[in-house]
Structure 1
Amino acid sequence: MNNVPEGRWRRGVVDVMGALREMNSQLSLLNHHVGLRLALRDVDLDCIDLLARNGSQSPTALARLAGLHPATMTGILDRLERDGWVVRERDQRDRRAVTIVLRPERGGELYRLFGGMRAAVDDICADLDPEQLALIAGFLTQVAAAGGREAEALGQ
């Protein structure tokens, strides 16, 4: 707490939590509107994002990353494949093994729709130095990891 009075520190933590909750709400709303423009459900967009960030995955691995039941993932992948977002690639040696691969030609649509947000973040960060940006990135990374641990604990 760096010798800050407990009450002042606690208020600061409450303010941070409130800001994180508001950020979560607004980013969820943004994702929802992007999804509506592309006829994607929120969970579809989440799976596309997971594939974009983590690379191609087996359906089981993707279900685990998304916190979804494998049967639910099958329906999502059927929709994403039908609409041209992903391809199921079969292993040539074991035809039962499948890898889900994003179709890169669809990424431009997402890039365009999130362009305003990217520009806004660039503007927000413009006056920050690399050390400040590293501090913010580190904080957000720690918050995301804590959220992941709590989600995993609740999912058991």
Structure 2
Amino acid sequence: MSAGARRRSTAAVKDALRELRNQLSLLNHQVSAQLALKDVDLDCLELIARHGPLSPSALARRAGLHPATMTGILDRLQKGGWIVRERDPEAADRRSVAVRAVRGRNAELFRLYAGMNTAMDELCAGYTEDELALIAGFLRRTTSAGHDATGALSGG
């Protein structure tokens, strides 16, 4: 592949990723609105569900948010019945709390994402296992690059 063709292909991948990010942002905005949550609340709920239970400070670091901002988000999520705050039995400080997602609420999220999940299943059915492994690897490395870039911007 020539250098020019390589640059064009790389630019096409970056452009497609930007379009994907925008579309997923729009989807998440619609899901947030259906659940009467802010977009950032949904983002934090996803982090808690995937990586929790987490301390509020660990969640703030993962989300790249100020701890005071995180307090408001957690208050809204707890009021909505999405999370619970529990004493962290493994913490040295007995006042420490851990935040975990309420499992019973998952059905609402699954219902709202069902159309996208079905579309992804159909899309993936058109690829071989090797192709899917390649795509998954690319997406993991892209996520890692995004994590690193976010950390560099937030000073962390």
TM-score by length of 1: 0.95
2:83 matched to which residue of 1?
Answer: 86
Within-5 A mapping of 1:68-147 = 68-91=65-88, 94-147=93-146
Report the Cα distance in structure 2 between the residues aligned to 1:153 and 1:89, rounded to whole angstroms. Answer: 32
Report the Cα distance in structure 2 between the residues aligned to 1:64 and 1:133, rounded to whole angstroms. Answer: 31
Q: Deviations over 1:96-149 (max 9, x none)?
A: 110001100111100010000000001111121110000000001111100110
Which range moves more in the overlay, 94-103 or 57-66? 94-103
1:12 matched to which residue of 2?
Answer: 9
Q: What is the CA distance between 1:91 and its match in structure 2?
A: 3.5
Within the candidate set 51, 59, 64, 2:61 is matched to 64
Aligned residues: 153
Q: Deviations over 1:38-78 (max 9, x none)?
A: 00100000011101111210000000000001111001001
SS at match of 2:99: strand
2:24 matched to which residue of 1?
Answer: 27
Identity %: 55
Which range moves more in the overlay, 131-140 or 92-101? 92-101
Gap runs ≥5 in structure 2: none
Report the Cα distance in structure 2 between the residues aligned to 1:126 and 1:26, rounded to whole angstroms. Answer: 21
Divergent runs of 4+, >3 A = 91-95
SS at match of 1:35: helix
